[in-house]
Amino acid sequence: MKTLLTRLIRLRNPQFAFAEGFDGRMVLSFLVVTGLSFLRGLTMLLRFRRPRFMLMGPGVRLRYAHRIHYGQFLKLGRGVTVEALGTEGITFGNNVSIGDWSKVVVSTTPGDPGCFIRIGHNVGIGEYAYLGGAGGLTIGDDCIVGQYFSCHPENHHFASLTTPIRQQGVKREGIRIGEDCWIGARVSVLDGVTVGAHSVIAAGAVVTRSFPPYSIIGGVPARPIGNRLTPNPSPQPEPEAVPAT
């Protein structure tokens, strides 16, 4: 059974192999969970859509489903919400995985719909992510992302001191993340940012400006702390402490 299951999983992940010590009971449990997810994916037939081997956890919500486009083997964890209210909706590539309790939301306001969310092939995003698409969000192929990742491609104007901020409107420049990036847990990316391909973002970073390809980024706000093109990059010096007055 393990051999057959391995062959099936390799349709989605050609490099997959069960770890040593993964016993028969664990294989059976994994098979049951995956089988139920596959059966839930077949409910896309009720929406007159091809499931394309979709795996869907319990409690998944798809809103404006006709604006959701997806490739093969899309995996949506338990409690995931996908809301495609926007001018271009949401596009998932092949072999995309969205972790439990995440939200992929272009917009929630019919009076001011957002733009789009485009996620490339072979992208894995951890649990409790929030991906907004008001100003447009693009995540390139082969990115791996930790838990609690958030993207916010929209900012509020606040120049007026007499008008409530909520009435001053917003600006939307969009967020672009290049291919083959590794993004740690609890990273936030704000509007107008482009992260170059092959970059690494340290856990807990708040990315407020753009960075070129092969960057190593960390901090609040994020700053360059290395470059993958430099062999054995030396640590960046810490700023000197300001003496108390």
3-state secondary structure at position 32 = helix
Chain segment 168-191, per-residue pLDDT in tens: 988 999 999 999 999 999 999 999
Distance CA 215, CA 219 (A): 13
Q: The domain that contains 122 carries what CATH number?
A: 2.160.10.10
Report pTM.
Answer: 0.89
| Residue 160 belongs to a domain | yes
The pLDDT, as a whole number, for residue 23 is 85
User: What is the structure's pLDDT at 14?
Assistant: 86
Instruction: Name every residue whose Cβ is closer than 8 Å to that of residue 3 and which is 6 or more positions away in sequence.
Output: none
Give the burial class of 150: count Cβ atoms within 10 A of its Cβ; 0-12 exposed, 13-18 middle, 19 or more buried. middle
Decide: 175 and 193 in contact? Cβ < 8 Å: yes
Measured distance CA(54)–CA(48) in Å, rounded = 14
Query: Is 235 among the domain residues?
Result: no
CA 129 to chain centre: 7
Residue 239 lies in a domain: no
CA 206 – CA 220 distance, rounded (Å): 5
Terminal C-alpha separation, the chain: 70
pLDDT, position 32: 92
Task: State residue 215's pLDDT score.
Answer: 97
In-domain check, residue 97: yes
Answer yes or no: are the C-beta atoms of 154 and 189 closer than 8 Å.
no
The CA-based angle 175-145-41, given to 5 degrees, is 95
In a domain, 212, yes or no: yes
**Number of structural domains the chain divides into:** 1
DSSP 48-79: T---TT-EE-TT-EEESGGGEEE-TT-EE-TT
Query: What would the pLDDT profile of 131-170 be if each residue is shown by its tens digit?
Result: 999 999 999 999 999 999 999 999 999 999 999 999 998 8
Q: Which residues of the chain, if any, have pLDDT below 50? A: 237-245
Residue 58, preceding peptide bond in cis (omega within 30° of 0): no
The amino acid at 76: L
Q: Residue 145: inside a domain, yes or no?
A: yes
Within a domain: 103: yes
245 in a structural domain: no
Residue 72 belongs to domain spanning:
2-15+23-225
Cα 142 to Cα 94: distance, rounded to the nearest angstrom? 10
- The total of other beta-carbon atoms located within 10 Å of residue 164's CB is 8
